Amino acid sequence: MNAVNFASGDQPSVIAQLGQTLDGRIATVTGESRWINGRCALDHLHRLRASVDAVVIGVGTLIADDPQLTVRRVAGAHPARVVIDPNGRAPADARCLRCPAAPTYLISAPGVRRGPGVIELPLRDGALAPADIVAALAAMGLKRLLIEGGARTVSGFVDAGMVDSLHLLVAPMIIGSGRQGLELRPEGRLAAALRPATTVTVFEDGDVLFECDLRRQTPARQGEP
């Protein structure tokens, strides 16, 4: 399996992961998403969790999936769990809030929530800024981060330029319609498109991992302007 590479030095390092179908869907039109990716992709996800200080999700993923965000499929320590919850929607009975395996933090706008584990950050244009989140967690010693979901959260961190490496796990499946994966700011020119240096790994059960280094761009293809 792939080793997890982090940027050297004392700066924060951010990995994002997203599992999807060949046609870029993360769920059907009814929201069904288990199981798009197979066991090898799940092993890889848990290996990512075991390699970071904290795993970050949006409150929508917390409500929809109620994940534990622990390491169960590989050896390693459980990371801290971080939920981006600007408006205080996180249910008190969520599994990651009740599980004592690792600390859980809720990031909210000022005055929305109170209590231990709450991190207050200002809203910028009505939202919590990825750069502020990364800086706040780094100040707590949580410098190696995994942005695990959902697609809107991953897209927001990519758009903000806060992701060093994107792990895109593609299953050999076509849904045809459903929830889209990455949705970034529109770009009308191919010359301005992201061209990350990418390593491709085919897992034994058919899923394909695209490990995209967003800090290193490849040149335009021959024949392009």
Bridge partners, residue 83, by sequence:
57, 106
Residues 17 and 169 sit within 8 Å (Cβ to Cβ): yes
- What is the rounded distance in angstroms from the CA atom of residue 221 to the CA atom of residue 225? 9
Instruction: Map out the domains of the chain with their CATH numbers.
Output: 13-217 (3.40.430.10)
* 174 burial type by CB count under 10 A (0-12 exposed, 13-18 middle, 19+ buried): exposed
pLDDT score recorded for residue 221: 67
pLDDT score recorded for residue 183: 93
- SS3 for 17-44 is EEEEECCCEEECCCCCCCCCCCHHHHHH
pLDDT digits (tens, 9 = 90+) for 165-211: 999 999 999 999 999 999 999 988 888 899 999 999 999 999 999 99
**What pLDDT band is residue 4 in, cutting at 50, 70 and 90?**
low
Average of pLDDT values for 56-65? Answer: 95
pLDDT digits (tens, 9 = 90+) for 120-153: 999 999 999 999 999 999 999 999 999 998 999 9
pLDDT at residue 2 tops 70:
no
pLDDT digits (tens, 9 = 90+) for 81-133: 999 999 999 999 999 999 899 999 999 999 998 888 999 999 999 999 999 99
* 146 burial type by CB count under 10 A (0-12 exposed, 13-18 middle, 19+ buried): buried
Residues 4 and 146 sit within 8 Å (Cβ to Cβ): no
pTM, rounded to two decimals: 0.92
pLDDT score recorded for residue 224: 56
